[in-house]
Amino acid sequence: MSLIAPADQEKLREAFNEMTSPVRLLFFTQTLGCETCLETRQILDELPPLSDKISIEEVNLILDGDKAKHGVERVPAIAVVAVVGVDESKQVRDSRIRFLGIAGRLRVHLAHPGGAARRRPSAGTDRSEPRRASPPWTRR
């Protein structure tokens, strides 16, 4: 049974269509002592079928070296990295965004990377020049 509801899958599929660059989700896990790692992995595994731009890479926090940790010290955790460029110029750009804990909120972030944009602007704020940066995976 799918952990992401069909209606949410459809929303995610539409949101993922906005992505212009591939995104890799680094999933930090360990074999023992992680109650929610399995469920997190199940949620993550449901994302690539929704978009060919999403891939999952598993990092074992115990077995893999410090270099692979990206500053993560707990599991389950997810790091979002964008893959920009093509073929030989392909580069991985770290978004420096980490999610600690089960991945329920990750799908919200991926689907609405400018979530704060939906809040009403404060009174007297000049909105003529938005200063929000778009995430690297939605830049054209």
Q: Under rule CB under 8 A, which residues in 43-72 are in contact with another protein?
A: 71
**Identity of the residue numbered 2:** S
The rounded distance, in Å, linking the Cα atoms of 2 and 10 is 13
Nearest distance in Å: CB 19, another protein: 14
Query: Is 58:30 a contact under the CB 8 Å cutoff?
Result: no
What x/- string results for residues 76 through 115 when contact with another protein is judged by CB under 8 A? -------------------xxxxxxxx-xx---x------
How long a stretch of residues is the chain? 140
CA angle 1, 102, 72 (to 5 degrees): 140
Nearest distance in Å: CB 71, another protein: 6
The rounded distance, in Å, linking the Cα atoms of 91 and 86 is 8
Read off the tokens for 55: 């891939």
Which CB, 30 or 36, lies closer to another protein?
A: 36
What x/- string results for residues 11 through 50 when contact with another protein is judged by CB under 8 A? -------------------------x--------------
List contacts with another protein (CB under 8 A): 36, 71, 74, 95-102, 104-105, 109, 116-117, 119-122, 125, 132-136
